[in-house]
Amino acid sequence: MRDYFKYEKKLKYLLRYFILLFISFIAVTCNTGGVIDAPPPFVELTEGPSEGEVLSNDKVIFAWRGNGSDYKFKYRMLSLDSDNFPTVYQDSTSYSNASEVTFSNLDEGNFRFELYAKSNNVEPSSPLVRDFTVDAIKGPSLMFYKTKTVIDFDSTNSVGIWMEDVNGLTGFSLVIAFDKNKVNLVGATKGAFVIQKRFEQIIVPDLNDTTLILKNINATGKIEITSAFLTGLGTLPDKSISGSGKILNLVFKGIAKGISNIDMTTIDLRDQNGVVIHSNAPKSGILEVQ
């Protein structure tokens, strides 16, 4: 009989325990909408453009957070072409505690920001993605592409001359200034937009065929260049180029670490009748030698 009472006492104790546990469960689910310990999203953007937003400036800030103090993040920026095909605009960073980044001097076009997060070395299968557009330059105008170009010391890289919303272009003349103590010009090549439109392109002077002219350019830090587009069977019925795209590439070599501004001090755009095409003030560029 004594054992029976001990068993009954234990049974009552367990019953009270499960009743209290059940009441706690009901209270928690009521306070969290039916989900126990509902955390915030794994990672979320707290600042930045909305999905598909068009920005009228070339600067954007992204900020983010995860739902724990042990989270680490990395990010990268992609540029999207007219077919929404992505290419790397800024390589992926390493994982760190950083929770904000500012991008300045962005080029015109469509971009995709990708944010990755991990906790306790567990990484999600896909990043947080935000697409947006930069439309800061109002054409007709010219600009450098990329606006900021990085050149390794004693190495070369190219910066494009980009036409933005120009109609009926058949030729142009430019005067471009750069810091001769940071970079040297080593050549020029045809623009991808001209090639795409199937025009032949003449560049004067031929910077790839003379050392004397390049020596003079690099002694003064001033480039004077003229180019014309020639029609052919593949261009008909078009006799000029319209729209936005790269019409020339300038190739520079880094000779000293630091930053060189690059400016178009004179712009002369012409249509097929030799008439001047009005253009808005161009945007300056940056060459950074690392």
pTM here is 0.76
Tens of pLDDT, residues 246-267: 999 999 999 999 999 999 999 9
Q: Domain of 47? A: 43-133
Q: Reply yes or no on whether the pLDDT at 47 is more than 60.
A: yes
Residue 33 falls within a domain, yes or no?
A: no
Task: Quote the pLDDT of residue 37.
Answer: 45
One domain for residues 82 and 111? yes
Residue 172 contacts residue 233 (beta carbons within 8 Å):
no
Question: What's the mean pLDDT in 124-150?
Answer: 91
Residue 157 falls within a domain, yes or no?
A: yes
Q: How far apart are CA 97 and CA 69, in angstroms?
A: 9
CATH of residue 60's domain is 2.60.40.10
In terms of phi and psi (left: phi > 0; alpha: psi -120 to 50; beta: otherwise), the region of 100 is: beta
Q: How far apart are CA 159 and CA 176, in angstroms?
A: 12
Tens of pLDDT, residues 76-130: 999 998 788 999 999 999 999 999 999 999 999 999 999 999 888 777 668 999 9
